[in-house]
Chains A and B, each alone.
Chain A
Amino acid sequence: MTPEEELTYYKKAYEREKSARKEAERILESKAEELYNVNSKLLSLNTNLEETLLQRTKQIKDSEKEFSLLVESSNVMIYKTDINGNLTFINPTGERISGYKSSELLGKPFSEIVRIDQKNEMTLFYRNQLLNNIESTYYEYPIITKNGKKIWIGQNVQLIIKNNSSIGFWAVARNITKRVKNDNELKKSNEKYKKLFEGAFDGVIRLDAKRCFVEWNSKMETLLGYSAKELKGMHITKVLHKEDLKLSKAYLERLKTDGFYSNYTGRVKSKSGKLIDIEVNSAATFEDGIMTGSIDSVRDITERKSLEKAIIRSEEKYRGIIENLEFGLLEVNLQGKIQKAYPSFCKLTGYSKEELIGTNPYNILHPDFISVLEEKTRDREQGISNVYEVKIKQKSGHYIWVIISGAPFYDEQGNLQGSIGVHLDISQQKKMEIDLLEANKKAKASSKAKELFLANMSHEIRTPLNAVFGLSNLLKNTDLNDDQIKYVKNINNSAQSLLLLVNDILDISKIESGKIEANNTKFNLRKTLSSVLSSTSYLADKKQLKLSFKIDNLLDNVYLGDDLKICQVLINLINNAVKFTTQGEVILKLDKVSDLDNSHKIKFSVMDTGKGIAKDALLGIFEDFSQEDNTISKKYGGTGLGLSISKKLVSILGGKLKVESIINKGTNFYFEIVLKKATETLIVKERTSQFELNWSQVKILTVEDNPVNQFVIESTIKTWNGSTDIACNGEEALKMLNQTDYHIILMDMQMPVMDGLTTTKIIRQEMKSDIPIIAFTANALKKEKDRCLAVGMNEYITKPFQEEELKLKILKLILKNKRGNTFSLNKDHIQDNPEPLFSIKKLEKISGGDNSFIKKMLTIFCNDGKIQMTQMSISKDSKEIARLAHKIKPSIDYISNHNMKSLVREIEQNKFVHNSDLLTEFLTKLNELINLAEQKYQKYN
Chain B
Amino acid sequence: MKGIVFTGFLELVEDKFGIKTVQDIIDACELKTNGVYTSVGTYDHKEMFQMVGKLSEIKNIPIPNLLQMYGTFFFSVLSHSYPKFMDKNDLFTFLESIDGYIHAEVLKLYPEAELPRFTSESINESEMKLIYESSRKMSDFAIGLINGAANYYKQGINVEIIKFEEEGEKVVLKITHIDA
Contacts and interface: CB of A to CB of B under 8 A. Distances in A.
A751 B119 CA distance: 156
B23 interface: yes
Nearest to A23: B38
B19 to A, nearest CB: 4
A9 B23 contact: yes
A27 B41 contact: yes
Given A16-B35, A16-B36, A19-B36, A24 B20 contact: no
Contact of A27 (B20, B35, B38): B38
B36 A6 contact: no
B22 interface: yes
Contacts of B178: none
A27 B42 CA distance: 10
B19 A6 contact: yes
A10 B41 contact: no
Interface string B1-29: 00000010000001000111011001000
B19 A23 contact: no
A16 B40 CA distance: 15
A9 to B, nearest CB: 4
A24 B7 CA distance: 12
B4 to A, nearest CB: 11
A1 B20 contact: yes
Q: What interface size band does chain B fall in?
A: 10 to 19
Interface in A8-32: 9-10, 12-13, 16, 19-21, 23-24, 27-28
A5 interface: yes
Contact of A10 (B7, B19, B34, B38): B19
B153 interface: no
Contacts of B22: 9, 13
Nearest to B7: A20
B122 interface: no
Nearest to A28: B40
B20 A20 contact: no
B148 to A, nearest CB: 24
Interface string B113-133: 000000000000000000000
A24 B23 contact: no
B23 A20 contact: no
B40 A5 contact: no
Contacts of A10: 19
Nearest to A24: B38
Contacts of A5: 20
Contacts of A12: 23
Contacts of B20: 1, 5-6, 9
Interface residues of A, number: 15
A20 B38 CA distance: 5
B39 interface: yes
B39 A24 contact: yes
A543 B37 CA distance: 204
Nearest to A19: B36
A9 B34 CA distance: 14
Contacts of B40: 24, 27-28
B58 to A, nearest CB: 15
Contacts of B38: 20-21, 23-24, 27
A32 to B, nearest CB: 12
A409 B23 CA distance: 163
Contact of B36 (A1, A9, A23, A27): A23
Contacts of A27: 38, 40-41
Contact of A24 (B18, B26, B34, B41): B41
Contacts of B7: 20
Q: Among the interface residues B26, B38, B41, which one has the most CB atoms of the partner chain A within 10 A?
A: B38
Contacts of B39: 24
Contacts of A9: 19-20, 22-23
A16 to B, nearest CB: 5
A27 B40 CA distance: 7
A23 B23 contact: no
Nearest to A12: B23
A27 B37 CA distance: 12
Q: Among the interface residues A1, A9, A10, A20, which one has the most CB atoms of the partner chain B within 10 A?
A: A20
Given A23-B41, A24-B41, A27-B41, A13 B36 contact: no
Contacts of B14: 13
Contacts of A24: 38-41
A24 B38 CA distance: 6
Nearest to A5: B20
A373 B39 CA distance: 165
A9 B36 CA distance: 14
Q: Among the interface residues A16, A19, A21, which one has the most CB atoms of the partner chain B within 10 A?
A: A16
A20 B23 CA distance: 15
Contact of A20 (B18, B26, B37): B37
A27 B22 CA distance: 25
B41 A13 contact: no
A23 B37 CA distance: 8
A27 B2 CA distance: 13
Nearest to B18: A1
Contacts of B26: 16
A12 B22 CA distance: 10
Contacts of B34: 16, 19
Contacts of A16: 26, 34-36
Interface in B37-56: 37-41
A13 B37 contact: no
A462 B55 CA distance: 213
A622 B7 CA distance: 187
A1 B36 CA distance: 24
A1 B21 CA distance: 11
B22 to A, nearest CB: 7
Nearest to B14: A13
Nearest to A27: B40
Contacts of B35: 16
A54 to B, nearest CB: 33
A17 to B, nearest CB: 8
Interface string B128-166: 000000000000000000000000000000000000000
Q: Among the interface residues B14, B19, B22, which one has the most CB atoms of the partner chain A within 10 A?
A: B19
Nearest to B21: A9
A10 B20 CA distance: 9
B20 to A, nearest CB: 6
Contacts of A6: 19-20
Contacts of B36: 16, 19-20, 23
Q: Among the interface residues B7, B35, B39, which one has the most CB atoms of the partner chain A within 10 A?
A: B35
Contacts of A21: 38
A642 B35 CA distance: 198
A1 B14 CA distance: 14
B32 to A, nearest CB: 13
Interface string B62-85: 000000000000000000000000
B3 to A, nearest CB: 8
A25 to B, nearest CB: 9
A454 B18 CA distance: 214
A13 B24 CA distance: 12
Interface in A784-815: none
A661 B119 CA distance: 158
Q: Among the interface residues B20, B40, B41, which one has the most CB atoms of the partner chain A within 10 A?
A: B40
Nearest to A9: B19
Give 10 nearest A-B pairs by CB, closest first. Answer: A24-B38, A19-B36, A20-B38, A9-B19, A23-B38, A20-B36, A16-B36, A27-B40, A9-B23, A24-B40
29 contacts: A1-B18, A1-B20, A5-B20, A6-B19, A6-B20, A9-B19, A9-B20, A9-B23, A10-B19, A12-B23, A13-B14, A13-B19, A13-B22, A13-B23, A16-B26, A16-B35, A16-B36, A19-B36, A20-B7, A20-B36, A20-B37, A23-B38, A23-B41, A24-B38, A24-B39, A24-B40, A27-B38, A27-B41, A28-B40
Interface of A: 1, 5-6, 9-10, 12-13, 16, 19-21, 23-24, 27-28
Given A13-B14, A16-B35, A20-B37, 8 more contacts: A1-B18, A6-B19, A9-B20, A9-B22, A9-B23, A13-B22, A23-B38, A28-B40
